[in-house]
Structure 1
Amino acid sequence: MEEKRRILVIGTGDTKADELLFMRERIEAVGGIAVMMDVSVLGDPPYRPAHDRHAVARAADTSIEAIIGSGDENSAMTLMALGASRLARSLYDKGEIDGFIALGGTMGTDLALDVALTLPLGVPKFVVSTIAFSHLIPPERIATDLMMILWAGGLYGLNSTCKAVLSQACGAVVGAASAAIKPDAVRPMVGMSSLGKSCLHYMVTLKPELERRGYEVVVFHTTGMGGRALEAIAAQRGFVAVMDFSLQELANHLTGSVVNSGIDRLENAGRQAIPQIVAPGAIDMVDFPTWQAVPARFAERPYHAHNRLLASVTSDGETRRAIARAIGDKLAASKGSTAFILPVGGIQQWDQHGEPLHEPEALLAFIQEMRISVPANAELHEIAGHINDAEFSAKALEIFDRWVAEGIIPPGVPGDRKAA
């Protein structure tokens, strides 16, 4: 018989016992084992959890009494989040859980997001939340493979709507834990950013070339959460090198767009001393939802609707200069080998002559500022061509191969290098 999957169930049992006990019943009904963790502060649940609130507090190097006296509900739940995260990671490292699910409103979600970030990629993470998909949740709080579902009808007590949602969530996390294939480390992994094949397509050349060299290449679609995933894996030292060629999310963050990856975009590879080759793909575009009006400050700018969800306008020359300076500041903080490729011929498909976002003067403003913003700790490689030209990919491979020869990047693994 297949081994039953153990699911860590997190919630405040003093106020949500009915819901949590229903979740335990549903997890066990579909062949899982529910491991209950109580994160209540003021009271105990009417059941005996495997890990009670006192154990959670101890994991945060404190006590429930000290947490209650910490000042307010925010400080109390922040301490409980620390304890829950440490305890959950310890349980995973000891092989005692295969996935986790949490239940909550803003308080419970805040705590659950920390737990999810603590567990590695490949461990099923499911949060049932009254604020699922909300812009209250900043990108940097979202784990790479987090799954969320709206806790519809879940403000107070069980009902048929609430049961429908909770039962789906419980089935999903048990199923995910049963089916999950965790990432392997057979081949060294290279992270690469891009913005869809229609806008940036260097990966069509680079991916097979790197695979032939014995590397696994993971390409991230930089529409907000793609860059977040790249940053999260880099923060956990999951890459031997990063080719960060699409920085539009950074530009979006600086211009106030919601289509961004958080404040630490283009920082984690450098912080972890991971070798990185960087280029300014699509930094001239500002994204916003197609179904909203064009932001007033961009009303007169060139416009491109990608689909019914996503549209872009261009930023002006002064904004692009500011973006260049921000890129330079982030590269200056890098602790590892860094190279910057500056394609003078253009930085995304639609900025070329005859295309809707062609603005040579604004592009020149960026290029001029970028030339003086690349810091002393980074190599600057300027090419005459466009970022989608063969010249760009050749330059990226030239730098990569030199760093391998110099021992900066570990060699690839010989053998069958075909992508899975």
Structure 2
Amino acid sequence: MPPLKTYIAVIGTLDTKLEQFLYLRSQILKNDPSLAVILIDAGRSVIEHDAITIKQHEVLKASGFQGGDGALMLLPRGDLIKIMIKGAIETVKQLKDREEIQAIISLGGSGGTSIASAVMRELPITFPKLIVSTVASGDVSFYIAETDITMMYSVVDIAGLNEVLKAVVDNAAAAIVGMAKAYAKRIGNGHNNIKATKKGIGITMFGVTTKGVDAIRKWLESHGFEVYVFHATGSSERSMERLAKGGRLHGILDLTTTELADELAGGVFSAGSSRLTAAAKAGLPQIVSVGALDMVNFGPRDTVPKEFRGRKLIEHTPSVTIVRTTERECEELGKRVAQRLKENCIRPEFTEVWLPLRGVSALDVEGQAFYDKVSDEALFTAIKNGLEGSGISVNELDTDINDPGWSESIAKRLSELIELKG
């Protein structure tokens, strides 16, 4: 049955932003007086107010900090934030474990956003999380990571209560009220978060591999699987890993590994050196391919570094420019694919690499702008050589990555691997 009352956690540094948080609290209750607000103080200094539900000293105690108020005041800001993050995570985790909150919201600058986002990253996917932040108009990947945190730009600094900030906070309050009520209704109907009813499969996709992925997805769905498609823009593997840890994924089809090219050449969608390791370390059945390794991704055309401007270059959208990878880069990419799989696969018998010999993207087929058989061959050869003796099989198909026959074959094989693993 649904909770008797819907509670929204509001967390922030109340020693510097009490006025703004009290306004947020009032607007939440104005939207729906039947709701309850749990106001949590994660600031440096002790603040007393009747509206504060969980006081600063309680958060501090949850962090395990042994010093008193005097020692806390002397801490550098960075150390203080780490302590408050630890205490806030533990505090909110206890509330969530007891099912005493159905949403969380915060306001903040860089410090407050760091605390709130760290807390929210520990909460389950689909649990409502919203931050109004001064940093939300920039690169917020550090704060959001692979989670579903919603961030709203404050437009003006969170200082005082001018008409612009009040309007932004009004919108945020309305949004979190709607999220909380929807979530409470969902869990009341027995759909708490994302309980598995089917075996789940994660697939990575890019625009230039969409046709193939769509065909794979439809085949898998028609055979009883739940399919989660991840856009390969830097956090796809972390997102897959989070769902896998939650027991949601039973297999991975890492069709689109383009982030490796960005890591190598300095593109904007790098996933870092852990790419290709999560599913391997988990022992999940997986098929890895080389989708979109023919390209490095940059921003608008004028942001492409000078050393790339003499290459084959396509303005994919006004905000995305793609550059063709070279033969030497493709050889190195092949070596990295092989090395990371070989070094991290705990169950090599459940990992396979599939190579589409006629093109690794929609732009890499004969007659298209990025078609380069020599570079592709360097990629394929490096993978095959690198995986020799590893126990990881390599399957070469005389087709391109978006071909319908390829799609059905690779979908069938992944379902077989999942069945074999049981």
- Report the TM-score when normalising by structure 2: 0.88
Asked if 1:314 is matched to 2:324, the reply is yes
Q: Which residue in the other structure is 1:333 paired with? A: 344
Q: Cα distance 1:45–1:328, how it changes in 2: closer, same or farther (>3 A)?
A: farther
How far is 1:391 from its partner?
4.1
Give the match's secondary structure for 2:337.
helix
Q: Which residue in the other structure is 1:418 paired with? A: none
Q: Which residue in the other structure is 1:61 paired with? A: 64
**Which amino acid letter does the alignment assign opposite residue 317 of structure 1?**
E
Q: Which residue in the other structure is 1:416 paired with? A: none
Larger helix proportion, structure 1 or 2? 2
How far is 1:199 from its partner?
3.7
Which of 169, 172, 184 is the matching residue for 2:172?
Answer: 169
Distance (whole Å) between structure 2 residues aligned to residue 381 and residue 295 of structure 1 = 36
Asked if 1:351 is matched to 2:364, the reply is yes
The more displaced of 176-185 and 349-358 is 176-185
Name stretches of at least 5 consecutive residues in structure 2 with no aligned partner: 187-192
Any conservation in 2 of the 1:57–1:64 contact (CA below 8 Å)? no
The more displaced of 268-277 and 186-195 is 268-277
Residues 362-419 of structure 1: CA distance to partner in whole angstroms, max 9, x if unpaired? 112111211123371533222222112234324423432332342x1x4xxxxxxxxx
Q: Cα distance 1:58–1:321, how it changes in 2: closer, same or farther (>3 A)?
A: farther
Which of 66, 75, 78 is the matching residue for 2:82?
Answer: 78
Q: Which residue in the other structure is 1:50 paired with? A: 53
Q: Which residue in the other structure is 2:418 paired with? A: 404
How far is 1:285 from its partner?
0.8
Q: Which residue in the other structure is 1:203 paired with? A: 213
How far is 1:302 from its partner?
0.8
Any conservation in 2 of the 1:235–1:269 contact (CA below 8 Å)? no
Distance (whole Å) between structure 2 residues aligned to residue 103 and residue 151 of structure 1 = 9
Any conservation in 2 of the 1:126–1:147 contact (CA below 8 Å)? yes
Any conservation in 2 of the 1:291–1:308 contact (CA below 8 Å)? yes
Any conservation in 1 of the 2:250–2:418 contact (CA below 8 Å)? no
RMSD: 2.5
How far is 1:174 from its partner?
1.2
How far is 1:143 from its partner?
4.1
**Which amino acid letter does the alignment assign opposite residue 277 of structure 1?**
I
**Which amino acid letter does the alignment assign opposite residue 105 of structure 1?**
G
Q: Which residue in the other structure is 2:244 paired with? A: 234
Aligned residues: 406
Give the match's secondary structure for 1:301.
coil
Q: Cα distance 1:70–1:294, how it changes in 2: closer, same or farther (>3 A)?
A: same
Q: Cα distance 1:100–1:263, how it changes in 2: closer, same or farther (>3 A)?
A: farther
Residues 298-343 of structure 1: CA distance to partner in whole angstroms, max 9, x if unpaired? 1011112222222211121222222222222332213343221122
Q: Which residue in the other structure is 1:160 paired with? A: 163
Matches within 5 A, 1:142-153: 142-153=145-156
How far is 1:351 from its partner?
0.8
Residues 344-377 of structure 1: CA distance to partner in whole angstroms, max 9, x if unpaired? 2221010111101112221121112111233715
Asked if 1:365 is matched to 2:378, the reply is yes
**Which amino acid letter does the alignment assign opposite residue 341 of structure 1?**
W
Distance (whole Å) between structure 1 residues aligned to residue 385 and residue 50 of structure 2 = 64
Distance (whole Å) between structure 1 residues aligned to residue 137 and residue 391 of structure 2 = 39
Distance (whole Å) between structure 2 residues aligned to residue 42 and residue 2 of structure 1 = 34
How far is 1:232 from its partner?
3.5
Matches within 5 A, 1:8-27: 8-27=9-28
Q: Cα distance 1:155–1:236, how it changes in 2: closer, same or farther (>3 A)?
A: same
Q: Cα distance 1:139–1:312, how it changes in 2: closer, same or farther (>3 A)?
A: farther
Q: Which residue in the other structure is 1:92 paired with? A: 96
Any conservation in 1 of the 2:209–2:256 contact (CA below 8 Å)? no
The more displaced of 206-215 and 14-23 is 206-215
Any conservation in 1 of the 2:285–2:414 contact (CA below 8 Å)? no
How far is 1:150 from its partner?
0.9
Any conservation in 2 of the 1:340–1:380 contact (CA below 8 Å)? yes
How far is 1:36 from its partner?
0.8
Any conservation in 1 of the 2:215–2:408 contact (CA below 8 Å)? no
Distance (whole Å) between structure 1 residues aligned to residue 129 and residue 265 of structure 2 = 32
Distance (whole Å) between structure 1 residues aligned to residue 79 and residue 283 of structure 2 = 33
Any conservation in 2 of the 1:225–1:261 contact (CA below 8 Å)? yes
Give the match's secondary structure for 2:355.
strand
Q: Cα distance 1:186–1:236, how it changes in 2: closer, same or farther (>3 A)?
A: closer
Q: Which residue in the other structure is 1:106 paired with? A: 110
Identity %: 27
How far is 1:169 from its partner?
1.0
- Report the TM-score when normalising by structure 1: 0.88
Any conservation in 2 of the 1:192–1:218 contact (CA below 8 Å)? yes
